[in-house]
Chains A and B, each alone.
Chain A
Amino acid sequence: MSIRWTRKDLLGLRELSADEILFVLETADAFKQVGTREVKKVPALRGKTLVNFFVEPSTRTRTSFELAAFRLSADVINMSATTSSLTKGETLKDTARNLEALHTDILVLRHSSAGAAQFLAERIRASVINAGDGAHEHPTQGLLDLYTIREHRGKMAGLHVVIVGDILFSRVARSNIFALTKLGARVTLVGPRTLVPRAFEQLGVQVSYRLDEVLADADVINLLRIQHERQRKEYFPSIGEYTSLFGLTNARAARLKPDCLVMHPGPINRGVEIDSEVADGSRSVILEQVTNGLAVRMAVLYLCGGIAT
């Protein structure tokens, strides 16, 4: 493949070409192998400073970025909404400019507002990596999902990927949809009508309200977490009803193809969107997603943080 990586920022997968997505995945192959070495660290970003700026709480994504940065020898500062001056009334832009005044090279941003990463990328010289912005995109999650599918199935073209759950508010779903359709996969979104509007069909995907009808034809089933903490209960009557209609129960899992991959961005709610036996079963690649997330984030930090700015 002969493409040149020229982006200092990773804001979303919508603006990447299919070749760029594949280039990141191939670069991640090399970085995945670093984790198996005796010394799990390379000097690729030595002397660079990375700020993990998580205005919205997150443990796994922040930890994954932090470890990825350590393995590339970058220096890391973690900031949350409470440890930043945002609570003192400082604007996002001013906070970012202060970070820039400290010669930050890479800014990893998690924010509750869609477009926050782009807003900063247009205003500061540092590389900006979107670690989730509102319900917009979560590009590294999309990339690690694709990496995991590619590792098992070789390619995306022709695969039928079913994404189940809270699609309306899911940045994971959007990043997956943009990337999967670019690489030729067929995508079906499943969930309650309130959380899966027909408008999504404009993105080139199918919409279904019956998981039982699409189960047997899925090559990949990606279950999104039902986010209790965001009080989305007004969108469906009860957790119990959600599970009975859209949960991947043992009975439903028995009807999946033998080689269907079961994915989940985590953290999983056992007994809600997925039964314990299925989460721990032979088709589950949930923990592989975590391992691959580290490799993909190393690749993204290396590519965006490594080019001359």
Chain B
Amino acid sequence: MSNQTKKSGADHRSVVMDAPAIDRALRRLAHEIIEANPDLRTVVLAGIPSRGNDIAQRVAAEISAVQGSLVDTGIIDVAMHRDDVGTRAELPVVRATKLPHSLEGRTVIIVDDVLYTGRTVRAAMDAISSFGRPARIQLAVLIDRGHRELPIRPDYVGKNLPTSPNEKVQVRLGDGDEEQGVWIIKD
């Protein structure tokens, strides 16, 4: 996730999505989740901190606006499940995972902002399995930028964004006074 957060000069940034485009993408994502899950009471939208969590909250709000019923949300910490501990000069901040008490029969939808190598998603699946055995795990992302290193594919995608590995994808969701949008940053 840290590769998307680095701020860079405006010269090399090009806009991919603006605030209304993000809204539309998340609304469509919510409708696809409703369509694919007839019983929404079994669904848990579990966001990967921090922006995956923000997206999960927004999608959940959209679903409840359309269906008139609340959908469960949760948080999945992946820091302690990563496979690169000991190789990074800076450790990711570890947060507590919050999932419903029992995952029996539930559909856990992992939610993140950008899908890249797939390693974060693998770590999230490991984290979920240490809490129990859900009926199924699905994946929803705002951006799929390609370059997978593991056999992982998303079930719900806001936007497919072809990138080159030396580019960075920056997502801002309007936390505080920052502007919302998705940008590609060239090195």
Contacts and interface: CB of A to CB of B under 8 A. Distances in A.
A54 interface: no
Interface in A92-107: 105
Interface string B80-116: 1111011111110111110000000000000000000
A45 B166 CA distance: 30
B96 A308 contact: no
Interface SS, B side? loop
B80 A307 contact: no
Contact of A30 (B80, B126, B130, B132): B80
B176 to A, nearest CB: 15
Interface in A1-54: 4-5, 26-27, 29-34, 37-39, 41-45, 48
A246 B121 CA distance: 56
B94 A30 contact: yes
B83 to A, nearest CB: 7
Interface residues of B, number: 24
Contact of A307 (B82, B89, B131): B89
B131 A38 contact: yes
A306 interface: yes
Contacts of B83: 43
A26 B96 CA distance: 9
B131 A303 contact: no
Contact of A306 (B86, B97, B131): B86
A42 B126 CA distance: 9
Contacts of A5: 90-91
Given A306-B91, A307-B91, A45 B129 contact: no
Interface in B12-59: none
Contact of B129 (A39, A305, A308): A39
Contacts of B129: 39
Contacts of B79: 30, 44
Contacts of A34: 80
Contacts of B96: 29-30, 32-33
Given A27-B94, A30-B94, A41-B130, A308 B86 contact: yes
B62 interface: no
B144 interface: no
A305 B132 CA distance: 28
A4 B97 CA distance: 21
Contact of B95 (A30, A38, A72): A30
Contacts of B86: 48, 105, 305-309
A48 B85 CA distance: 10
A203 B11 CA distance: 53
Contact of B131 (A29, A37, A48): A37
B105 to A, nearest CB: 15
Contacts of B130: 37-39, 41-42
B132 to A, nearest CB: 5
Interface string A281-309: 00000000000000000010011011111
Contacts of A31: 80, 94
A306 B91 CA distance: 7
Contacts of A303: 91
Which 3 A-B pairs have CB atoms at the shortest separation, nearest pair first? A39-B130, A30-B94, A44-B80
Interface of A: 4-5, 26-27, 29-34, 37-39, 41-45, 48, 72, 105, 299, 302-303, 305-309
